[in-house]
Amino acid sequence: MTPTISSATTTSSPTATGGCAAIRSSSLGPGTSLAALAVFDPAIRWFYPWTYQGIGEIDPRVIADRFTVRRVTKLGRTTGVTTGTVSAFMLDNVTINYGSDSRPHVIEFDNQIEFIGTPPQTPFSLPGDSGSFIFDADTLRPYALLFAGGAGDDGIDRTIASFMPDVLAQLNVRLITS
C-alpha cells in the first residue's frame, strides 16, 4: 500500500494513512507556519510521495529562493490540479480568523506568499485544499505549503502559503527524498 501525508498527495495506488496530528497553538504569531505531521502505520512497507496525479513526477529538492518562482501548480483535495502565479512574495500582517465571528481566534502571519489562479477569475484554491504542496510549475520542485485563501475586495480569490524552507526550519524536519 502507498501511504499519503496529506489529502494533497495522491497516487494511482490504494492509500493507507497513519494518524495525523495538526499543530495548533494559541501561541502562534508573526513569522510562524501552520502544518500537520503524519505518523505512519508500521505496516506501511514503502513510501514514495513524489508522483502527483495530474502533475507528474516531482523533484523533491525544495526551492531555496522565494523570488525565483512565478508560475505554480498544486493538487488540492477540493480543486484538484490548478495553476497560478505568485502575486506577492513577502506579505506581512496576514490575519486569519480560525474562530467564528462571535468567537474570533485571529492569528497573524508574516513572510507569507500570495497566489492567484490562472486565469485570475479562477480560484487557485478553495476550502479543503489546505496542506497542499505548491510547486514551481517550471521545475516541479516544492515551493510553499498552502494554508489559507479567499476572495479579496476586488473579487479575485487569493491563496496564502508559507515558504517551504520556512516551514521545514520551524518544524525542524526535512522532506523524504529517497
Residue whose C-alpha cell is 495538526: 22
Whether residue 119 is preceded by a cis peptide bond, meaning omega within 30 degrees of 0, is: yes
The strand pair at 133-136 and 94-97 is best described as unpaired
Of 74, 53, 73, nearest to 10 by C-alpha is 53
Higher-pLDDT residue of 1, 71: 71
Mean pLDDT to the nearest integer, 103-121: 92
Q: pLDDT digit string (tens) for 55-93?
A: 999 998 999 999 999 999 999 999 999 999 999 999 998
pLDDT the model gives residue 63 = 96
Domains of the chain: 2-171 (2.40.10.10)
Tell me: the pLDDT tens digits for 116-138? 999 988 999 999 999 899 999 99
Of 140 and 154, more confident: 140
Average predicted confidence (pLDDT) for the chain: 79
Q: How far is it, in rounded angstroms, from Cα 84 to Cα 151?
A: 15
Sorting pLDDT into bands at 50, 70 and 90, what band is 144?
very high
